[in-house]
Structure 1
């Protein structure tokens, strides 16, 4: 192979690897749910605890979030470090509670969102100090999460479980520890409040500075690009989806562009 052609291929491959390093672009190919159940959410999700075999108590996680996460979603990782024993106890508790098909979709959503967010905080603490989650080797691909007899990665939870549950608002609930991510909610998700919580974080994200929206302009978070197919099912466009939650309605036919992503750590200063 000629050197010039080899160099061109090498550059292209390097660019592809760089692009694929984002958690949001990790393909679900090669991943699996590891047998963990994924009940599909109805088109109109309600909040309830009465239709599930199990009701999981997330009060320990709720207490930690109230203490160490600001209303803006910024995280006091040094404070979390001081309460490491409490976080470890919560993760150990979740490891012993393996979801089944008998759980309601509400209980599953709350469980999987909370375990994703809690293990993301744990990942940062295990590698603290760090400027970005992207600097951590195997950040989304290593099987760091224990659920019963299953070991699974953050990407496995996101792509092979939560994204299979027919609830695109999960993209605004799970937090990847970066400035441009949807904020980490400073309360635990629960089946009793799941629909209202998902609505709240979706509205807050869409109407935040993570997007630049006007009637004839839409510069959106890259999340809407990376996960486009999750938002545009059944003929719904990205603009249609955003307009459901946006205070400012975007005119049909407006060209949508996407903002650069800030991967710096979402840490309180």
Structure 2
């Protein structure tokens, strides 16, 4: 499996013209000393995301004013002071699962924002190769290792299950980043990760001490706003997210069970609780940039 994954990665990077040496936190100054206090770094990241929300997002966290954020002092400090600390930070030092979940979710959302600004994206992150390039090109150096958006989502947060459209796990068996994965994965992360597109879940700021409640709220809020039921056709209309990651949710039966638990106590949930069968209809994903 190791040779296959190495060859797969080399071929994809060549096709997409991705430079494995390129990261968004390379900087030009002296590399900071190793950061031993993972809790403090996670708190600094959380504070940066809170400032981003206050300065450049709508109240729901759906839209981002990227041009306004570009020259904002909070964003400039994030770029110059916080992200360089990641270069020699060991994520394995994060003390518990809750802290790791909050850290990686916040970092994913922050990296998306940083990459949209750095790459000058104005219409969609999916303009090239249906988004494959953006999610592999957007990366930070973390603990001396390159870590892209795909690495964070499919390698770390999804316990190395791999990209839904690319065969094999995200990381090879010899990859040192395997020490960072969160296993078992929590499927609710799919309602916390925002990929700068209109169909994405809202951007939240996640805290270790509240992570379970926040993920549950993210799931319930997304489902309440997104899911529609056509009882005459016995159809459930829902986000393409459920299709892409159906295995994470336990297949069709798992998705329906999740909806029975997560939907608010309205006519949709009442119908679903008594329905003997239902067909899942996945909506097209709106990849337009979530521009405020």
SS in 1 for 2:136: coil
Q: Name which of 101, 114, 134 aligns with 2:106.
A: 114
In the TM superposition, residue 141 of structure 1 has moved relative to its aligned partner by: 1.5
Partner residue of 1:261?
Answer: 285
> In structure 1, the residue corresponding to 2:99 is in which secondary structure?
helix
Of the structure 1 ranges 148-157 and 126-135, higher mean CA displacement relative to structure 2 is found in 126-135
Deviation at 1:103, TM superposition (A): 2.3
2:216 to 179, 191, 199: 199
Q: Does 1:70 align with 2:87?
A: no
- Superposed CA deviations along residues 187-233 of structure 1, whole A, max 9, x for unmatched, are x211011111111111111111x332356431110000000000017
Q: 1:161 maps to which residue?
A: 156
1:93 is displaced (CA, Å) by 3.6
Contact 1:130 1:265 in 2 (8 A): yes
What is the alpha-carbon distance in structure 1 between the residues aligned to residue 88 and residue 276 of structure 2? 49
Q: Distance in 2 between matches of 1:30 and 1:242?
A: 36
Residue 244 of structure 2 corresponds to: 226
Match of 1:6 in 2: none
- Which residue in the other structure is 1:48 paired with? none
Cα deviation, 1:66-100, whole Å, max 9, x if unaligned, reads 22221232111122112231231332344443211
Q: Give yes or no for the alignment of 1:79 onto 2:68.
A: yes
Structure 1 residue aligned with 2:27 = none
Alignment partner, residue 212 of structure 1:
228
Distance 1:79 1:255 in 2: 43
Q: Distance in 2 between matches of 1:82 and 1:236?
A: 47
Please point out which of 165, 178, 193 is paired with 2:197.
178
Higher helix share: 2
Q: Displacement of 1:241 after TM fit?
A: 1.1
* TM score, norm. by length of structure 1: 0.73
**Equivalents in 2 of 1:203, 1:162: separation in Å?**
20
Higher normalized contact order (CA 8 Å, seq sep 6+, divided by chain length): 1
Q: Which runs of 4+ in 1 moved over 4 A?
A: none
Residues 221-267 of structure 1 deviation map (CA, whole Å, 9 limit, x = unaligned): 0000000000017x952110122111231234111110011100011
Q: Secondary structure at the match of 1:183?
A: coil
2:212 partner SS:
helix
Residue pairs, 1:10-159, within 5 angstroms? 30=8, 54-55=38-39, 56-57=42-43, 58-72=46-60, 73-83=62-72, 84-88=75-79, 89-100=81-92, 103-135=95-127, 138-142=133-137, 144-159=139-154
Moved more, 87-96 or 125-134: 87-96
**Structure 1 alignment gaps of length 5 or more:** 1-26, 32-52
Q: 1:94 to 1:204 in 2, by over 3 A?
A: farther
2:283 & 2:142 partners in 1: Cα distance? Answer: 35
| Unmatched segments (≥5 aa) in structure 2 | 10-36, 160-181
1:227/1:129 CA distance change after superposition, 3 Å: closer
Within 1, Cα distance between the matches of 2:51 and 2:88?
20
Q: What is the SS of the residue equivalent to 1:207? A: helix
